[in-house]
């Protein structure tokens, strides 16, 4: 019978001894700033709040008219409730109007560009270069023998030819 058991244990430990220090001895120098606002997004947001403002003022006007008519007809309770709706719609429209205008400054973005001057690290040094050794000089006293050009290959014998192949059907 074969052994079907296997080891399901595993090591959950890990090394947490790493260096988390970093050098903060650099100096940031302001270079310039530029407008990085996405104005089309700002316009869309402002337009959305403007739409809410317009809907709110239309609703407020409708509630005001209905409140006035209810008052003139002698229904004080309806006039009061419609007036409260008018006030709430007006307040909502005012907030939407203020927001539609303030997004133009609230959503504006400016990006600043800095350069960083990092001081030289004087805590290390490169090992000095060992200049005490030298490569052996190249031996130029020998030379390769000149190529022997006194022989030549025999010209190819082109006087023979292979017999033509028998293409007759005889013998097959």
101-155 pLDDT, tens digit per residue, is 999 999 999 999 988 877 766 666 666 767 777 777 777 777 666 766 676 666 6
Q: What's the gap between Cα 60 and its chain centre?
A: 47
163, part of any domain: no
Residue 171, pLDDT > 60, answer no
Number of domains composing the chain:
1
Q: Is the full-model pTM beyond 0.85?
A: no
d(CA 53, CA 168): 104
CA atoms within 13 A on the CB side of 129: 2
Per-residue pLDDT, 69: 97
Per-residue confidence (pLDDT) for residue 81, from 0 to 100: 96
Count of positions (residues) in the chain: 172
In this structure, are residues 39 and 75 in contact, taking their beta carbons and an 8 Å threshold?
no
Residue-wise over 17-52: b if at least 16 C-beta within 10 A, else e?
Answer: eeeeeeeeeeeeeeeeeeeeeeeeebeeebeebeeb
Structural domain includes residue 151: no
User: Whole domain around residue 90: which residue ranges?
Assistant: 27-117
The mean of the pLDDT values for the chain is 81
Band the pLDDT of 7: cuts 50, 70, 90. Answer: low
Residue 48 resides in a domain = yes
Closest CA to 51 of 87, 85, 96: 96
Span 19-71, pLDDT tens digits: 666 666 677 888 889 999 999 999 999 999 999 999 999 999 999 999 999 99
pLDDT at 172: 47
- pLDDT value of residue 117: 78
Residue 61 located in a structural domain: yes
pLDDT at 156 over 70: no
Q: What pLDDT is attached to residue 83?
A: 96
Under 8 Å between Cβ of 114 and 29: yes
Q: Is residue 62 part of a domain?
A: yes
Let me know if residue 172 belongs to a domain.
no
Residue 113 included in any domain:
yes
């Amino acid at each position: 019978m074969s052994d079907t058991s296997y080891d399901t244990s595993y090591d959950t430990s890990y090394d947490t001894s790493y260096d988390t220090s970093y050098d903060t001895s650099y100096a940031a120098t302001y270079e310039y700033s530029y407008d990085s606002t996405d104005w089309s997004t700002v316009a869309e947001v402002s337009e959305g709040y403007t739409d809410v403002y317009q809907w709110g003022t239309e609703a407020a006007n409708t509630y005001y008219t209905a409140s006035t008519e209810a008052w003139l007809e002698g229904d004080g309770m309806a006039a009061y409730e419609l007036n409260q709706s008018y006030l709430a719609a007006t307040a909502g429209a005012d907030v939407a109007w203020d927001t539609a205008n303030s997004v133009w400054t609230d959503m504006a973005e400016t990006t600043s560009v800095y350069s960083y001057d990092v001081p030289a690290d004087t805590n290390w040094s490169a090992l000095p270069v060992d200049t005490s050794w030298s490569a052996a000089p190249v031996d130029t006293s020998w030379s390769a023998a000149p190529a022997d050009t006194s022989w030549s290959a025999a010209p190819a014998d082109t006087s023979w030819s292979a017999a033509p192949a028998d293409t007759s059907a005889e013998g097959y």
